[in-house]
Amino acid sequence: MCGIMGYIGPRQALPILLDGLRRLEYRGYDSAGVAVLADGRIETRKAAGKLAVLESAIADRPIAGRAGIGHTRWATHGHPTEANAHPHGDCTGRCVVIHNGIIENYLPLRERLQAAGHRFRSDTDTEVVAHLIEEALEAIPSGRPDRMEAAVREAVRQTRGAYAIVVMSADDPERIVAVRMISPLIVGLGPDETLLASDIPALLPYTRDVLVIGDGEMAVIEAGRVTLADLDGRPVARRPEHITWDAAMAEKGGYPHFMLKEIYEQPRALHETMMGRLDRDDEVTLDGVALPEDLVRRLDKVWVVACGTAFHAGLVGRWLIEHLARVPVEPDLASELRYRDPLIVGRTLAVAISQSGETADTLAAAREARRRGSRVLAVTNVVGSTLAREADDVLFIRAGPEIAVASTKAYTTMLVALQMLAIHLGLRRGTLASARAAALIGALRHLPLQAQQALERSAEVEVLARRWVGAEHAFFIGRGLDYAVAMEGSLKLKEISYLHSEALAAGELKHGTLALVTPQTPVFALATQRTVYEKTISNIQEVRARGAEVIAVAYDDDAEIAKYAQTVLRIPPTDDLLAPVLAILPLQLFAYHVAALRGHDIDQPRNLAKSVTVE
Ligand code: AGP
CATH number for 349 = 3.40.50.10490
Q: Atom 7 of ligand 1 has which residue's CA nearest to it?
A: 308
Please tell me the predicted confidence (pLDDT) of residue 430. Answer: 97
The verdict on the CB of residue 407 being under 6 Å from ligand 1 is yes
| Ligand 1 center–CA 612 separation, angstroms | 8
Radius of gyration of the chain (CA): 25
| Ligand 1 center–CA 196 separation, angstroms | 34
d(CA 91, CA 542): 71
Please tell me the predicted confidence (pLDDT) of residue 390. Answer: 93
> Is the same domain home to 277 and 188?
no
| Ligand 1 center–CA 407 separation, angstroms | 6
The verdict on the CB of residue 81 being under 6 Å from ligand 1 is no
> Is the same domain home to 426 and 331?
yes
Q: Is residue 580 part of a domain?
A: yes
| Ligand 1 center–CA 203 separation, angstroms | 33
Q: By three-state DSSP, how is residue 452 classified?
A: helix
Q: Is residue 610 part of a domain?
A: no
| Ligand 1 center–CA 498 separation, angstroms | 17
Exposure string for 184-215, b = 16+ CB within 10 A, e = fewer: bbbbbbbeebbbbbbbbbbbbebbbebbbbee
Which residue, among 207, 179, 180, 202, has the nearest Cα to 191 in the 3D structure? 207
> Is the same domain home to 503 and 561?
yes
> Is the same domain home to 39 and 162?
yes
2 is catalytic: yes
The verdict on the CB of residue 386 being under 6 Å from ligand 1 is no
Residue whose CB lies within 8 A of the most ligand 1 atoms, among 587, 611, 613, for a mutation test: 611
Please tell me the predicted confidence (pLDDT) of residue 162. Answer: 83
d(CA 599, CA 435): 50
Q: Atom 9 of ligand 1 has which residue's CA nearest to it?
A: 308
Give the ligand 1 atom nearest the CA of 307: 11
Residue whose CB lies within 8 A of the most ligand 1 atoms, among 359, 498, 603, 614, for a mutation test: 359
Helix (H) or strand (E) holding 366: helix 360-371
> Is the same domain home to 423 and 462?
no
d(CA 37, CA 171): 10
Q: How many helices (H) and strands (E) does the chain have?
A: 19, 24
Q: By three-state DSSP, how is residue 568 classified?
A: strand
| Ligand 1 center–CA 551 separation, angstroms | 26
307 is catalytic: no
**Amino acid letter for position 307:** C
> Is the same domain home to 242 and 297?
no
Q: Is residue 615 part of a domain?
A: no
d(CA 480, CA 105): 38
Please tell me the predicted confidence (pLDDT) of residue 611. Answer: 82
Please tell me the predicted confidence (pLDDT) of residue 206. Answer: 95
d(CA 598, CA 256): 14
Angle 460-466-467 from CA coordinates, rounded to 5°: 90
> Is the same domain home to 365 and 481?
no
Alpha carbon of residue 506 to chain centroid: 32
**Residue 29 DSSP symbol:** -
| Ligand 1 center–CA 348 separation, angstroms | 25
> Is the same domain home to 26 and 85?
yes
Indicate the residue among 213, 229, 251 that finishes a domain: 251
d(CA 186, CA 178): 10
- Beta bridge partners of residue 162, listed in sequence order: 102
The verdict on the CB of residue 385 being under 6 Å from ligand 1 is no
Q: Is residue 29 part of a domain?
A: yes
Helix (H) or strand (E) holding 571: strand 567-571
Indicate the residue among 450, 465, 486 that finishes a domain: 450
* Tally of structural domains, the chain: 3
> What's the CATH code of the domain at 189?
3.60.20.10
Q: For residue 558, give its domain range.
A: 457-597
Contact status, residue 136 vs residue 151, Cβ threshold 8 Å: yes
d(CA 260, CA 568): 22
Q: Is residue 606 part of a domain?
A: no
Please tell me the predicted confidence (pLDDT) of residue 20. Answer: 95
> Is the same domain home to 286 and 417?
yes
Cβ atoms < 10 Å from Cβ of 449: 13
The verdict on the CB of residue 309 being under 6 Å from ligand 1 is yes
Please tell me the predicted confidence (pLDDT) of residue 356. Answer: 92
Q: Is residue 607 part of a domain?
A: no
The verdict on the CB of residue 488 being under 6 Å from ligand 1 is no
Q: How far is CA 108 from CA 104, 113, 160, in A?
A: 10, 9, 11
Q: Is residue 532 part of a domain?
A: yes
> Is the same domain home to 276 and 232?
no
d(CA 376, CA 368): 10
Exposure string for 125-149, b = 16+ CB within 10 A, e = fewer: bbbbbbbbbbbbbeeeeeeeebbbb
Exposure string for 349-370, b = 16+ CB within 10 A, e = fewer: bbbbbbbbbbbbbbbbbbbbbb
Give the ligand 1 atom nearest the CA of 610: 4
Please tell me the predicted confidence (pLDDT) of residue 1. Answer: 67
d(CA 569, CA 454): 9
> Is the same domain home to 98 and 16?
yes
Q: Atom 3 of ligand 1 has which residue's CA nearest to it?
A: 406
Indicate the residue among 397, 424, 450 that finishes a domain: 450
**Which residues have C-beta within 8 Å of that of residue 93, sequence separation ≥ 6?**
42
Segments in the chain below pLDDT 70: 1
Contact status, residue 569 vs residue 458, Cβ threshold 8 Å: no
Which residue, among 567, 586, 477, has the nearest Cα to 525 in the 3D structure? 477
Q: Is residue 608 part of a domain?
A: no
Helix (H) or strand (E) holding 77: none
Find the catalytic residue in 50, 301, 535, 610.
610
Contact status, residue 196 vs residue 4, Cβ threshold 8 Å: yes
Work out the angle between the directed axes of helices 434-455 and 579-597 (0-180°, nearest 10).
Answer: 20
> Is the same domain home to 60 and 208?
yes
Which residue, among 27, 370, 37, 339, has the nearest Cα to 177 in the 3D structure? 37
